[in-house]
Amino acid sequence: MVALSVTIDRAVATDTVLDLEPSGSELAPPATLTIPAGSTSAKVNVDTNPTSTASFRQIFVSYRGYRVTGYGILVTPLKASVSFDKAPLASGEAGNGLIYLSAPVRQALTLPLSSSNAALTVPASVTVKPGAKFATFPITTTPVSARQTVRVTSTLLGFPYFGNVQLLPTASLKTLTLPATAYGNGKIVGTVRLTIAAPAGGTTVTLVSSNASLTVPATVTVPAGQYAATFDAFSSDVATDSLPVVTATAGGVSASSGVTVKPLSVSGLTLSASTVAGGGTVTGTVTLNTAVAVDTVVTLTSADPVASVPATVTILAGGKTATFTVSTSAIASAKNVKITVVKHGSSVYRTLKVTP
């Protein structure tokens, strides 16, 4: 839109109507212009229509059918530019783009949009509202492993207009590693590895276990400049095999790893003596198949009250053995007593001879 001012050489006594006629379709003035009584001039806004090339056009002014003057106007093509609110843009994050026109539009103008890279997504089009000269559009991205230049293109009057944005790599998850097997009440160490070194502030990896037989922390942080971090996972005192799956996620990428959690078992039972006189004591030592990460209870039984044992014995965290005392009573004749230790489905026994 341009403003046209028409001036005559003397003031008019009454409202005077002048006819306006453009020399080309690029200009769209009103059909008439009225100079008020007592005035020598009047202004009117002239709309323009889209054009792909610059052109010089005129508006002819007539009074009662006679052309009295003309005004030249250079009509230039409407142009566009594409820019971004974040440049460069971290992949995996969202942003906004901006279409900016060289002049406000008289009517709503819809412009197509496209991206040169599937890692950066834009809507199919954006609309500039009447009277405006710009419009924004949303941008979504997915993580990339290397810096990339992405071109966003729009087309106006057959001419492409584009803007480039640098898409920065995001540290996303590459692998999750866990031991294939763990035993109850144990600790295993897992490792998460990123595609690139973690940025300043580190990269947080979320962790989830599929069931309670294996507990993992909610998150683990890979320190800035590092590619990997480890975390401790703790198994529960399962009675049968369990198959939890741990899932790690960072930068929109997830990886899973399964672990077989097996029950603890008794691997050994020793007595400090195989024979004891009634009224004496013997020390028993129970051994599990592996060290435990938390205090762990095993069950003890005696086949005869002449040799008594505690109901349980606790193996302390970090160890795999514990001792207990077998107390005997005086008897008139010798007896063989079976001392048994039980953990889940496993058991080991030793025979203690109690003599008079």
Q: Give Rg (Cα) of the chain.
A: 44
Domain total for the chain? 4
pLDDT in the model for residue 349 = 97
Whether residue 238 is found in the same domain as residue 283: no
DSSP assignment of 315-330 equals EPTT-SEEEEEEEE--
Whether residue 151 is found in the same domain as residue 202: no
Whether residue 252 is found in the same domain as residue 288: no
Distance CA 238, CA 260 (A): 11
Whether residue 244 is found in the same domain as residue 283: no
Report DSSP state, residue 263.
Answer: P
**Block residue for tokens 């834009």:** 122
Report DSSP state, residue 223.
Answer: P
From the centroid of its chain, how far is CA 336? 67
Distance CA 290, CA 269 (A): 14
Distance CA 309, CA 232 (A): 36
Residues 6 or more apart whose Cβ sits within 8 Å of residue 282:
271, 272, 273, 276, 325, 326, 328, 352
Distance CA 127, CA 99 (A): 9
Maximum Cα interatomic distance, the chain, rounded to a whole number of Å: 148
Closest Cα partner for 80 from 97, 98, 102, 96? 102
Domain ranges, residue 149: 80-168
What global pTM score does this model have? 0.63
Distance CA 232, CA 51 (A): 68
Whether residue 155 is found in the same domain as residue 189: no
Burial letters 95-104, b for 16+ CB under 10 A, else e: bebebbbeee
Half-sphere exposure of 151 (CA within 13 A, CB side): 6
User: Last residue of a domain, which of 31, 57, 75?
Assistant: 75
Distance CA 206, CA 58 (A): 68
Burial class (CB in 10 A: 0-12, 13-18, 19+), 226: middle
Q: Are strands 228-235 and 214-215 parallel, antiparallel or unpaired?
A: antiparallel
Whether residue 43 is found in the same domain as residue 111: no
Whether residue 270 is found in the same domain as residue 321: yes
Q: Rounded to the nearest 5°, which phi and psi values hold at 268?
A: -165, 155
Mean pLDDT in order along the chain per 10 residues (356 residues) = 84 90 88 91 85 84 88 86 90 92 90 96 96 95 88 92 91 94 97 92 96 97 96 97 96 93 97 96 97 97 96 97 96 95 96 96
Whether residue 221 is found in the same domain as residue 199: yes
Whether residue 243 is found in the same domain as residue 311: no
**Block residue for tokens 């672990």:** 259
pLDDT in the model for residue 235 = 97
Whether residue 49 is found in the same domain as residue 123: no
User: Last residue of a domain, which of 230, 262, 294?
Assistant: 262
Tokens of 152: 């966003």
Distance CA 100, CA 140 (A): 20
pLDDT in the model for residue 147 = 87
Whether residue 180 is found in the same domain as residue 241: yes
CATH number of domain containing 32: 2.60.40.10
Q: How many CB atoms lie within 10 A of CB 45?
A: 11
Burial class (CB in 10 A: 0-12, 13-18, 19+), 215: middle
CATH number of domain containing 293: 2.60.40.1930
Closest Cα partner for 349 from 312, 292, 300, 294? 300
User: Last residue of a domain, which of 232, 262, 292?
Assistant: 262
From the centroid of its chain, how far is CA 23? 59
Distance CA 58, CA 23 (A): 5
Query: Do 41 and 34 meet the contact criterion of CB atoms below 8 Å apart?
Result: no
pLDDT in the model for residue 314 = 97
Whether residue 33 is found in the same domain as residue 20: yes
Distance CA 300, CA 337 (A): 13
Residues 6 or more apart whose Cβ sits within 8 Å of residue 121:
115, 139, 140, 141
Query: Do 91 and 169 meet the contact criterion of CB atoms below 8 Å apart?
Result: yes
